[in-house]
């Protein structure tokens, strides 16, 4: 399996003319997975060798603006470059609880209609991931109208046995999120490649003794 990482932004707090806010892309099997999407990420993508249209998954570490304020704009730009296709696989977006409401409200207030489907999978944090006075419970934000009209997606809880959240699993790898301590609930992401059994030429081994 081929993996390639491209850093689009390594700046902190806000973008500068020479350094974008937090964003990196993992290219895998022709797909691009975006980790964080700070302001200006789509501009950085245009300067890179990557194709934004190949983004199939987006992972947001935490809800500080320099890590996700670029997301609504990027989705709108991707939509402008797309054709309506009801059969297209949704772009999967993973991030802390509250991200779904932010995206739905941002797109709704700006009258933005995406031409492709997307799903937001929210990670429910534990209260020990940030100082007690900073913890905010967003679990009731998507009740009623927003819940019925907003994007689909799963609500993911911590697996106590693994001390992590299972996000993606296929025949080649597993992607998990784990808790980080920060001023707001934060998550790191681990991609673990599954063991690949080798192929033996049994007859040749026998011939060689």
Structural contact between residues 62 and 184, judged by C-beta atoms closer than 8 angstroms = yes
**Collapsing DSSP states into helix, strand and coil, what is residue 87?**
coil
Structural contact between residues 129 and 185, judged by C-beta atoms closer than 8 angstroms = yes
Phi, psi at 42, each rounded to 5°: -65, -30
Structural contact between residues 41 and 14, judged by C-beta atoms closer than 8 angstroms = no
CA distances for 1 relative to 4, 30, 172, angstroms: 10, 11, 8
Instruction: Report the candidate in 80, 8, 4 with the shortest Cα–Cα distance to residue 42.
Output: 8
Phi, psi at 62, each rounded to 5°: -165, 165
- Angle subtended at Cα 191 by Cα 103 and Cα 82, rounded to the nearest 5 degrees: 40
For residue 51, give every residue at least 6 positions away whose Cβ sits within 8 Å of its Cβ, in sequence order, or none.
32
Residue among 66, 128, 163, 170 flagged as catalytic: 66
Instruction: Report the candidate in 96, 102, 98 with the shortest Cα–Cα distance to residue 70.
Output: 102
Let me know if 142 is a catalytic residue.
Answer: no
Residues with a known catalytic role = 66
């Amino acid at each position: 399996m081929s993996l390639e990482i491209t850093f689009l932004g390594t700046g902190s707090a806000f973008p500068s003319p020479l350094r974008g806010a937090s964003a990196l892309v993992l290219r895998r099997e022709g797909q691009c997975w975006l980790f964080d999407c700070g302001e200006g990420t789509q501009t950085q993508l245009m300067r890179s060798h990557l194709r934004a249209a190949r983004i199939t998954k987006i992972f947001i570490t935490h809800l500080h603006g320099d890590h996700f304020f670029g997301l609504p704009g990027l989705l709108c730009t991707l939509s402008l470059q797309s054709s309506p296709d009801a059969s297209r696989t949704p772009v999967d977006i993973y991030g802390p609880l509250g991200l779904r409401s932010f995206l739905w409200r941002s797109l709704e207030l700006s009258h933005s209609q995406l031409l492709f489907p997307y799903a937001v999978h929210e990670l429910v944090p534990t209260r020990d991931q940030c100082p007690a006075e900073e913890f905010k419970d967003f679990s009731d934000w998507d009740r009623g109208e927003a819940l019925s009209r907003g994007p689909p997606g799963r609500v993911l809880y911590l697996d106590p046995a693994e001390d992590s959240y299972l996000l993606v699993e296929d025949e080649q790898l597993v992607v998990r999120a784990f808790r980080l301590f920060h001023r707001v609930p934060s998550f790191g992401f681990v991609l673990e490649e599954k063991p690949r059994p080798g192929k033996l030429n049994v007859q040749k081994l026998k011939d060689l003794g």
